[in-house]
A = this chain, B = another copy of it.
Amino acid sequence: MTFSLTHTDTQSGARAGALHTAHGSIQTPIFMPVGTAGSVKAVHQRELEHDINAEIILGNTYHLYLRPGIELLEKAGGLHQFIGWKRPILTDSGGYQVYSLGDNRKITEEGVVFKSHIDGSSHTFTPENVMDIQRSIGADIIMAFDECTPYPCEYAYAKESMAMTHRWLTRCIHRIDTTPPKYGYEQTLFPIVQGSVYRDLREQSAEFIASQQQDGNAIGGLSVGEPHEMMYDMTSLVCGILPKDKPRYLMGVGTPENILECIALGIDMFDCVMPTRNARNGMLFTSEGIINIRNEKWKNDLSPIDPALGGYVSATYSRAYLRHLVISKEILGAQIASIHNLTFYLWLVREARTRIIDGTFSTWKNQMVKKVTQRL
C-alpha cells in the first residue's frame, strides 16, 4: 500500500492525497461507511458503489468473527468475495466491540477473554489471533489490537492501558511481519494512538506509534463521550507528531462538523455509524442542514431530499414520500435515508477534497460547518 500526499492547505492542516491498495485507489480525505457484519445496513453493495460511490468500507472483526465466522469467510475467499464488494475493505480489531458488547470481558497482558453477546460462548482475542482473523477476513487495511479506553478515564488507568496497547502493537507487528497475506494481495497494518484525553500520554503514544514506521496510522479512543473541543485538541496534538507522508485515520468520527474540523487538523480517513444509524431513526444530513424527517413540517414537502448531492435517491425521492415511509415504518424508508446520508457524507469529503486542491478549503469549511450544524 502506498500513500501519495498531493495537496496541503496553506491555512490549515488539511491535506489531499491518494491511498493505493490491491483493490483500488482511495482519494483522501475519505469517509468509510461501516459494514458491521458484512453489510452496510439497508444498503446494497451496488448502491454503495454506484450511488454513494464509497471508495472503501469498514468491517467489524468482532461481528464477523462471531457471525458468519472465519471458517466460512475463508471458504468464500475472504469478505470481498463473500459479500460481493470489489473495492478496499478496512477491518477494525474487534477491541472496541469486545469492550462495548462482549459480556464479562477480562483484560490481561495476554489478551481479552469475553463472552459472545449472541450466545454467551467464551472467546479469546489476542494481538496475534486478531491479526490472523483480519488476514482471514481479507482486509486491505488491518487495525492493531488495542484497548480503547472509555471517557472519563483515570490518568493512571489511561497510562497503563496505553503502555499495554504499545506492547500489544509490538506483538501485532511481529505477527503481521511473520505471516503471509491470506489471499495473495497486500494487507497493511495501521497502529493506533491511545492515551485518553491526557496531552502527555497522547504525545508519548503518538511518538511511539510514529517510530514504528508503519504505512498508515490511526487515532483511537476519541469520540467516546468527551467534549468536542477535547477531541479536536488531542487530534491536533497527535497530527503534529504522526508522519506527514502517511495516512491518518481518526476512528469512529463523527458528525459532519467533526469531520470538517478534523480534516482541517490533518486527518485523512474517517468512519462512523452515525449516517446509517441516524438514517434509521429519520435523521437526515443535507447540504443545507439537519432534517428530522418525522416532523410534521415535511409532510407536504414534495421537493427532493437534497438535489445538490446529485445522488439518485437524494435527487429522486421527495421529503414527503420519505417522511411517509418512515412514519409508516416501511423498510424502504430506512433504505432511502441510509443511502441519502451516506451519499451526503461522501459528498462532504469529496467537496472538502476539491476545496483543499483549489485552495479555498478554510473559508469553505467555516461556512459549511454553519450549514451542517443547523436544524432545518
Decide: B324 and A335 in contact? CB cutoff 8 A. Answer: no
> A173: CB under 8 A from chain B?
no
Decide: B44 and A325 in contact? CB cutoff 8 A. Answer: no
Knowing A37-B328, A84-B316, say if A72 contacts B300 (CB, 8 Å).
Answer: yes
Closest to A37 in B: B328
Instruction: Determine which of B39, B67, B318, B335 lies in contact with A327 in the assembled complex, contact meaning CB atoms within 8 Å.
Output: B67
Among listed A75-83, A153-161, A176-184, A360-368, interface-contacting one: A75-83
Interface centre among A68, A84, A320 (most CB of B within 10 A): A68
Decide: A42 and B72 in contact? CB cutoff 8 A. Answer: no
Knowing A316-B84, A317-B84, A320-B68, say if A42 contacts B75 (CB, 8 Å).
Answer: no
Nearest-Cβ distance from residue A336 to partner chain B, whole angstroms: 8
Interface centre among A63, A300, A321, A333 (most CB of B within 10 A): A321
Residues of chain A from 294 to 350 with CB closer than 8 A to chain B in the complex: 299-300, 302, 312-313, 316-318, 320-321, 324-325, 327-328, 330-336
Knowing A76-B320, A324-B67, A330-B37, say if A335 contacts B82 (CB, 8 Å).
Answer: no
Which residues of the other chain, B, contact A41 by a CB distance below 8 angstroms? 330-332
Which residues of the other chain, B, contact A321 by a CB distance below 8 angstroms? 38, 68, 76, 82-84
Residues of chain A from 9 to 64 with CB closer than 8 A to chain B in the complex: 37-39, 41-44, 46, 63
Nearest-Cβ distance from residue A193 to partner chain B, whole angstroms: 32
Instruction: Determine which of B39, B302, B320, B336 lies in contact with A325 in the assembled complex, contact meaning CB atoms within 8 Å.
Output: B39
Identical chains bound together, number? 2
Knowing A68-B320, A72-B320, A320-B76, say if A335 contacts B331 (CB, 8 Å).
Answer: yes
- A contact residues, total (Cβ < 8 Å): 38
CA distance A312 to B72 in the complex (A): 23
29 pairs, A vs B, C-beta closer than 8 Å: A37-B330, A38-B321, A38-B324, A38-B328, A38-B330, A39-B331, A39-B333, A41-B330, A41-B331, A41-B332, A43-B332, A44-B332, A44-B335, A46-B312, A67-B327, A67-B328, A68-B299, A68-B320, A68-B321, A68-B324, A72-B324, A76-B302, A82-B318, A83-B321, A84-B316, A84-B317, A331-B331, A331-B334, A331-B335
- By Cβ-Cβ distance, the 10 closest A-B pairs, closest first, are A42-B331, A68-B324, A39-B332, A39-B330, A37-B328, A67-B328, A76-B302, A84-B316, A41-B331, A82-B321
- A residues touching B (Cβ–Cβ < 8 Å)? 37-39, 41-44, 46, 63, 67-68, 72, 75-76, 82-84, 299-300, 302, 312-313, 316-318, 320-321, 324-325, 327-328, 330-336
